[in-house]
Amino acid sequence: MVRILPLTFSNFQPNHFVIRETNKKVFVDQLGFNSIVELINHYALSKEPIFTKDKQVKVVIKTPVERQKWELSHEDVELTKKLGEGAFGEVWKGKLLKVTDGNGQPVPVAVKTAKLEAMNKEQIKEIMREARLMRTLDHINVVKFYGVAAGAEPLYVIMELADGGALDSALAKQHFPMIRKYEMILQAACGLAYIHDKKVPIRWLPVETILSGLYVPQTDVFAFGIMAWEITEDGKEPYPGMKVLEVALQVPKGYRMKFSTETNCWNEKWEDRTSMKDIVKWMKGFVKAHGGDPGPTGVMEKIGKKLKRNSREKQNRTSTMSSSGAVSSPNVSTATAKI
């Protein structure tokens, strides 16, 4: 087994040393050690220089780079149940042993395991780019990123566990009252508005992206409108009856799905679309006025519990939406939803 690690910087350039393992010993030159930790400790404490392969550079290990909070070890994670598998890895339910919940129990997590041998260098870089991006996010309506375990294979990406199941499946089975659906849309809007504030793009299929590859925050507003359509339509697949290529051809020509809710999320010019910040502001008032929960701890924060809401509560609180987009429920006046 061969590992290549950037052990030191000299003259502002990283120097890479090949650490070889032979007969259960690790080497960077002629001296063998029982582990990489033992090897590094020896050269750090003894100040014995290490030479690069071409013998042109002599370096001494001096200052360690401490492990960051998000840089986890495989030993920090216990895998408990396999949830799925793809071409490049698996998804597991697990426990993050070094982080506890309010009851002192290890936090349940979702673990993406990456088969590095099945991935090229760019795909591995993309995983790490995503990890670096997500570690900056901390919001109640954004799935929490705990860290990456990259010290061994397979690579682990550890995320908050969303154990309520797929939203589209739950919508199809539960048939939530319309006000509950608008709560879901609101909480998703809050998360997306936060991500926009952090300058993080999440693209889908707006006109400007299809035609020119342009991304602006309002690009995500187009995708948000599609998600809102899916929620109001009980999880149906968007652009029903159309293939991907057909959608890509027809959307730039002005085709839009029929939406029971008035929206300018799908305006052709991105400048004419509402910002996520304004959508959140308006929807909070709308949901509150109609007896819903405007947050901050609404549907999406505890999606698993909300999706398992029993039938009695659904019967006690119902609301319907007319074809014109009017939402009505007990004790509230009729109003038009607009996103």
Q: Which two tokens stand for residue 276?
A: 């996520």
User: Cα(229)–Cα(20) distance, rounded to whole angstroms?
Assistant: 55
- DSSP state for residue 252 in the 8-state scheme: G
Helix (H, G, I), strand (E, B) or coil at 34: coil
Q: Rounded distance, CA 61 to CA 293, Å?
A: 56
Helix and strand counts by DSSP (H, E) for the chain: 10, 15
Task: Report the C-alpha gap between 239 and 258 in whole angstroms.
Answer: 9
Q: What are phi and psi of 148, to 5 degrees?
A: -125, 140
Q: How far apart are CA 267 and CA 256, in angstroms?
A: 9
User: What are the angstrom distances between the C-alpha of 204 and each of 198, 208, 213, 217, 293?
Assistant: 18, 11, 11, 12, 28
CA-based diameter of the chain, in Å?
Answer: 82
- What element of type H or E holds 96? strand 89-100
Contact 94, 111 (CB under 8 A): yes
Task: Indicate the pairing of strand 71-72 with strand 145-149.
Answer: parallel
Residue with tokens 């109003």: 335
- Does the annotation flag 112 for ligand binding? yes
Rounded to the nearest 5°, which phi and psi values hold at 335?
-145, 160
Q: Which residues contact 237 (CB under 8 A, 6 or more apart)?
A: 168, 230
Annotated binding site: 112
Annotated binding site for ATP: 112
